[in-house]
Amino acid sequence: MADARPPVAGAPGGCCTDDPTLRGVEDLLADVLGDLAATVPVAVAPSADPAGVLGLVLAEDVRATAPLPGFDNAAMDGYAVDHRDVADATPDAPVTLPVVGAVAAGSGGAPPRVARGRAVRIMTGARMPPGATAVVPWESTDRGSARVEVHHGVDEGRHVRRTGEDVACGDLVVAAGTTLRARHLGVLAALDVRTVRVHPAPRVAVVATGSELQPAGEPLRPDGIRDSGATLVGASVVEAGGVVVATRTVPDDPAALEQALAEVAPLADLVVTTGGVSEGDHDVVRLTLAGRGSMWFGRIAMQPGKPQGFGRLEAGGPLLCCLPGNPVASFTSFHVLVRPALARLRGASVAWPTSSAVLATDLDSPADRLQLVRATLEHGDDLPRVTPGGTASHMVGALARSDVLVVVPVGVTRLSAGATVTVLRIDPEPL
């Protein structure tokens, strides 16, 4: 399945920079995606466990092995008739027919035959009697039991659901690559599809690093901060269709990091670390992992989220995506780099829905970086208006008030109020 280009690539200048020390965002993302394949398909039973199947991506086409509807049936409560018998019926000159039987949905047995000049009472969903060519609805009759007056004629086939008019045998019902939702499970149940093959949700481990990080409930040291990053990334994993299988928070200590990675790597398809990727004396992730396996660390042309790292510590091990530690930087990096990686693992398209909006205020940006600015969207009669919320990478309160990221391409240093901009949706589509 061909992937659409990633969202940042569609922005002019989104992958190029004059600074040779800055790697293009699109270039890094291509390497991340190129090192991944979809999880190995497994068989699941959609009717037995609909909650567990929702959101998974179908690995193989599903084709109908039976028609829907499976038989001609009534679309209305009324009377099954030969349409020729009532063609001239009007309120002033009704046609009267004897009622020779009744049939309800699921009543079993063969329905009575409708001969010319006869009618059979019929309920919605009931099998059409042989000889009947149409259904006269209740409201077009006097609702008689032994005899019925028909006040309005009907055409041939009126109020009849024909065999296979919805789905014919052999039709493609749900295509491979589809994210399964309630509407898909409905047709699978109607066709009695017992099992389908899907890509399991990617297993993700989250490792937050930083000696300053403290868990909830613990007395806060004067120089300590709450570990919001692990929660932010873990929740983002779930929103992106992954499953968090392990979470660790470790100090800036190589041995602690090594132990945490050794514990979580066997459990995961992907490991996301936060913090310790820059060039400081205590950036434990870079200092510990650089040069090992296929690990790469460096800077990319993006703000926030310039320092990044990714690779595998060993062949066959999980991919590591090493994000910055500041919460907004890790969140933005997650959406640009990790969310597409999870989509690839899920067997889904890596395309990220974008839309246009009108900028409410002026916005400045560095020339050599793609800037992704958190913002709030306000819908109106025309294009929605978007108000930027600042660029500082530690402001989780401002992030919570945002629902999109405004794309400012590389090479653009200023966007004026009133300009039309591209925005990337933060929140996923609801399942």
Highest mean pLDDT among 8-22, 154-168, 219-233, 378-392: 154-168
Written as six digits, the tokens of 266 are: 């066997």
Taking CB atoms within 8 Å and a gap of at least 24, the contacts of 321-324 are 321/32, 321/270, 321/271, 321/272, 321/273, 322/272, 322/273, 322/276, 322/277, 322/285, 322/286, 322/289, 322/297, 323/233, 323/272, 323/273, 323/274, 323/275, 323/277, 324/274, 324/275, 324/277, 324/278, 324/393
Cα 292 vs. chain centroid, distance in angstroms?
35
Per-residue model confidence as pLDDT tens digits over 115-142: 999 999 999 999 999 999 999 999 999 9
For the four alpha carbons of 300, 301, 307 and 310, in that order, the dihedral sign comes to negative
Residue 216: partners with Cβ closer than 8 Å, 6 or more residues away: 226, 227
Residue 69: partners with Cβ closer than 8 Å, 6 or more residues away: 161, 162, 163, 164, 165, 166
Residue 400: its pLDDT value, please? 79
pLDDT reading at 399 higher than 90: no
Instruction: Report the pLDDT averaged over residues 395-401.
Output: 75
Q: Please tell me the distance from the alpha carbon of residue 131 to that of residue 115, in angstroms, as a whole number.
A: 6
Residue 392: its pLDDT value, please? 60
Written as six digits, the tokens of 88 are: 């001239």
Neighbours of 317 (CB within 10 A): 16
Q: What's the mean per-residue pLDDT of the chain?
A: 91
Yes or no: say if 312 and 164 are a contact pair by the CB < 8 Å rule: no
Greater confidence (431 vs 347) lies with 347
pLDDT reading at 428 higher than 90: no
Residue 301: its pLDDT value, please? 95
Instruction: Report the pLDDT averaged over residues 337-344.
Output: 95
Per-residue model confidence as pLDDT tens digits over 47-76: 999 999 999 999 999 999 999 999 999 999
Q: Residue 218's beta-bridge partner residues? A: none
Q: Which CATH superfamily is domain 73-161 in?
A: Molybdopterin biosynthesis moea protein, domain 3. (2.170.190.11)
Q: What is the CATH number of domain 354-425?
A: 2.40.340.10
Residue 49: its pLDDT value, please? 92
Asked if domains 73-161 and 354-425 share a fold, the reply is no
Yes or no: say if 77 and 123 are a contact pair by the CB < 8 Å rule: yes
For 54, 92, 150, 398, 425, the CA distances from 391, given in Å and listed in that order, are: 36, 76, 73, 10, 17
Q: What is the dihedral of CA 345, 350, 355, 358, to 10 degrees?
A: 90
Residue 131: its pLDDT value, please? 97
Find the helix or strand (DSSP H, E) in which 309 lies: strand 307-311
DSSP 179: B
pLDDT reading at 10 higher than 60: no
Residue 38: its pLDDT value, please? 97
Phi, psi values for residue 233, rounded to 5°: -70, -40
Residue 2: its pLDDT value, please? 36
Share of the chain above pLDDT 90, in %: 77
Residue 6: its pLDDT value, please? 45
The DSSP bridge pattern shows strands 95-103 and 119-122 to be: parallel
pLDDT-derived band at 9, boundaries 50, 70, 90: very low
Question: If you classify domain 7-41+200-346 with CATH, what class do you get?
Answer: alpha beta
Residue 12: its pLDDT value, please? 33
Highest mean pLDDT among 22-26, 202-206, 423-427: 202-206
Q: Please tell me the distance from the alpha carbon of residue 259 to that of residue 263, in angstroms, as a whole number.
A: 6
For the four alpha carbons of 288, 27, 30 and 245, in that order, the dihedral sign comes to positive
Sheet with 42-44, edge to edge strand ranges: 42-44, 196-199, 57-58
DSSP 275: S
DSSP 106: T
Residue 163: HSE in the Cβ half-sphere, 13 Å Cα cutoff: 8
Sequence ranges of the domains in the chain: 7-41+200-346, 44-64+175-199, 73-161, 354-425
Residue 204: its pLDDT value, please? 98
For 122, 205, 321, 352, 357, the CA distances from 425, given in Å and listed in that order, are: 51, 24, 22, 8, 12
Cα 149 vs. chain centroid, distance in angstroms?
53
Residue 15: its pLDDT value, please? 45
Instruction: Report the pLDDT averaged over residues 175-196.
Output: 96
Neighbours of 168 (CB within 10 A): 12
Written as six digits, the tokens of 22 are: 């800055």
pLDDT reading at 404 higher than 80: yes
Yes or no: say if 68 and 191 are a contact pair by the CB < 8 Å rule: yes
Greater confidence (425 vs 12) lies with 425
Q: Please tell me the distance from the alpha carbon of residue 102 to that of residue 299, in angstroms, as a whole number.
A: 77
Residue 371: its pLDDT value, please? 92
Yes or no: say if 233 and 206 are a contact pair by the CB < 8 Å rule: yes
Q: Please tell me the distance from the alpha carbon of residue 366 to that of residue 301, in angstroms, as a whole number.
A: 10
Cα 17 vs. chain centroid, distance in angstroms?
32
Per-residue model confidence as pLDDT tens digits over 229-280: 899 999 999 999 999 999 999 999 999 999 999 999 999 999 999 999 998 8
Residue 358: partners with Cβ closer than 8 Å, 6 or more residues away: 382, 383, 384, 385, 386, 418, 419, 420, 421
Q: 55-69, 84-98, 417-431 — which is least confidently predicted?
A: 417-431
Greater confidence (3 vs 92) lies with 92
